[in-house]
Structure 1
Amino acid sequence: MQKHHYRVTLDAVDAEGTVLADSAPLRFVARCHDDIFAIVERSRQRGQLSADDAAAMAVGLKLFGEIALENRKDPLFSQISQDLGAFIGKLKGTR
């Protein structure tokens, strides 16, 4: 299965969205078997959440889900993998 690779950058901002100068950004590379940009767009188009909340949910879910999937035999992830699969199935089935 081909993986997409993403550089994720997280900046601390104030209430107006201005980057806080005294905080270094967090950066890392993540892999995902899905196109996260396409998933975010579909999530935003659903209109159930604000654009920012839809993006945060989609990105967080896909990044966590990929780690859970890759480690599903690990006891730490075994139960959450089943529950996560059910949640994602329900999310995909809801309009």
Structure 2
Amino acid sequence: MREHRYRITLEHLATASEGQALHAPLTFEAGNHDDLFSIVSRLRGKGQFDSDTSAQLALGLKLFGEVILKNRKHPLFEDIQPAFRDFIMKLKSQGKAAAAEDGPAAG
């Protein structure tokens, strides 16, 4: 399957408690069948969450979803697949419902 390729970098900016050491950055590569930048942009544009929360939600779901997709026969993901699919559909439909409620811009 052709896919987009990404390098994900996680930087530890602050600790929860004083005196704890910062972790070195964690970097890994991941593939995804979707354009993650486009997904983040769309979710940010819906205005359901602030910009950072939208990015966290989009990336978390897409990275997890791709793991589920690539390992769909693994018993670990059996129970979560239907609920995950339902959640994604609900997320997508809420964005459409919000856009429909807003209607055309007043002139």
CA distance in 1 between counterparts of 2:11 and 2:23 reads 8
Matches within 5 A, 1:57-76: 57-76=57-76
Q: How many angstroms does 1:70 deviate by?
A: 1.1
Q: How many residues align?
A: 90
Percent identity of the aligned residues?
50
Stretches (4+) displaced over 6 A: none
Residues 15-68 of structure 1: CA deviation (Å, up to 9, x unaligned): 8xxxxx843100000111000000000010011111000000000100000001
Gap regions ≥5 residues in structure 2: 16-20, 96-107
Matches within 5 A, 1:10-89: 10-14=10-14, 22-89=22-89
Match of 2:98 in 1: none
Gap regions ≥5 residues in structure 1: 16-20
TM-score (norm 2): 0.78
Choose 1 or 2 for highest CA Rg: 2
Aligned residues of 2:4 and 2:31 also touching (Cα < 8 A): yes
Q: How many angstroms does 1:71 deviate by?
A: 1.0
